[in-house]
């Protein structure tokens, strides 16, 4: 809480001496009654309303110098604290340690964190995203008719940085504090799936490279077409612009089966709700409480993925699909830039 200035302290004493109550004075100067009572007691004891000098070591930097460090950091978000400290000392002439600069940044709530990774967006991508969003800003029930689909790759041994270990200073190389991780990887599986307002599709494991012909023969004709035919509520198919999806062979197969495809802007995974489903599955299969040991084989990994896919509640899927209007509004507000989704 900011300190009360000398003028306000004088007003407190004057109003109390004039006969006003502590509560009335607190309301008049918009502060807590305890603060008014504290200054009045000090005035009665010492006969003065001046603040006593603090007992701690005086600060080596002024508020203006701290503000320059904050501005310098905001202009160079990815610069290390040591580099910011060196520039700060040269520009402001302050003689402080790196630790002091670090504390000043913490006070300004500029804590060092992992950056959020996103796909690069060029001007043409941003224009396409905002145009696509503007055309569908009024959609509400229309999203309930869309089958959202995508592929995702899951690794058998993958450390995403979420896991932390609590250890003492000299326990870095202790066996109980080490997480084993194969540097060169240990295999992965690619899975395809689709979600809609009513249900989820079957999952398809994709072995090897996915081509347009394989996409049609293994996914479109055996899974997508029957699903859309059996589900009258869902009649629009969504897919991204990957080469197997946009190939002429795939487009011919979709037209041959009278499947309406939702146009999709390039580099826009944040606009698709199924991406959050993959993230949910990824976190669950890497939950060390539920699965203490990593999958021994790719078949075990696939079984875990399918299990978590079926365990996802349909209401959770509906909540994700219901977020589509909010995604489009934010995309428009960000002028086609990255959204928080």
Q: Report the SS3 class of residue 319.
A: helix
pLDDT the model gives residue 1: 42
Which CATH fold would you assign to the domain 123-333? Nucleotidyltransferase; domain 5 (3.30.420)
228-282: pLDDT as tens digits = 999 888 889 999 999 999 999 999 999 999 999 999 999 999 999 999 999 999 9
pLDDT at res. 168: 66
153 DSSP 8-state letter: E
Domains in the chain: boundaries: 6-46, 63-107, 123-333
pLDDT at position 191 is 96
Q: Can you read off the two tokens belonging to residue 77?
A: 């978000």
pLDDT tens by residue, 149-194:
999 999 886 555 555 665 667 766 666 666 665 554 568 899 999 9
Check residue 58 and give left, alpha or beta (phi > 0: left; psi -120 to 50: alpha). beta
pTM comes to: 0.71
Cα–chain-centroid distance for residue 276? 11
The DSSP bridge pattern shows strands 204-206 and 260-262 to be unpaired
The DSSP annotation for 179-210 comes to ----TT---EEEEEEEE-SS-B---EEE-S--
Dist. CA 231–CA 236, nearest whole Å? 11
| Predicted local distance difference test score (pLDDT) of residue 80 | 87
* CB neighbour burial string for 53-89, b if at least 16 within 10 angstroms, e if fewer: eeeeeeeebeeebbebbeebbeeeeeeebeebbebbe
User: What does the pLDDT read at residue 332?
Assistant: 94
Where on the phi/psi map is residue 23: left (φ > 0), alpha (ψ -120 to 50), or beta?
alpha
* Unique residue bearing structure tokens 């509906």: 318
Those residues of the chain that have pLDDT short of 50 are: 1, 184
């Amino acid at each position: 809480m900011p300190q009360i200035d000398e003028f306000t302290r004088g007003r407190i004493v004057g109003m109390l001496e004039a006969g006003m109550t502590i509560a009335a004075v607190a309301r008049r100067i918009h502060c807590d009654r305890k603060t008014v009572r504290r200054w009045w007691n000090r005035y009665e004891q010492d006969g003065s309303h001046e603040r006593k000098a603090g007992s701690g070591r005086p600060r080596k930097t002024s508020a203006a110098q701290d503000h320059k460090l904050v501005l310098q950091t905001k202009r160079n978000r990815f610069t290390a604290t040591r580099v910011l400290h060196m520039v700060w000392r040269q520009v402001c002439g302050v003689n402080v340690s790196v630790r002091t600069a670090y504390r000043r940044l913490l006070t300004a709530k500029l804590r060092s964190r992992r950056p959020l990774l996103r796909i690069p967006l060029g001007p043409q991508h941003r224009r396409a995203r905002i145009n696509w969003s503007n055309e569908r800003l009024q959609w509400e029930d229309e999203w309930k008719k869309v089958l959202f689909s995508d592929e995702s790759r899951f690794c058998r041994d993958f450390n995403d940085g979420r896991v932390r270990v609590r250890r003492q200073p000299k326990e870095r190389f202790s066996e109980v504090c080490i997480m084993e991780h194969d540097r060169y990887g240990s295999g992965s599986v690619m899975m395809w799936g689709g979600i809609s307002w009513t249900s989820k599709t079957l999952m398809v494991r994709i072995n090897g490279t996915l081509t347009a012909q394989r996409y049609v023969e293994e996914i479109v004709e055996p899974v997508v077409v029957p699903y859309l035919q059996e589900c009258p509520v869902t009649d629009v198919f969504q897919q991204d612009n990957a080469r197997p999806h946009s190939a002429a062979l795939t487009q011919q197969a979709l037209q041959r089966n009278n499947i309406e495809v939702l146009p999709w802007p390039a580099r826009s995974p944040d606009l698709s709700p199924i991406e959050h489903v993959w993230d949910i599955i990824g976190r669950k299969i890497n939950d060390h409480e539920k699965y203490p040991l990593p999958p021994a084989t790719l078949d075990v990994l696939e079984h875990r993925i399918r299990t978590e896919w079926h365990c996802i509640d349909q209401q959770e899927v509906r909540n994700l699909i219901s977020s589509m209007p909010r995604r489009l509004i934010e995309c428009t507000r960000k002028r086609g830039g990255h959204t928080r989704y």
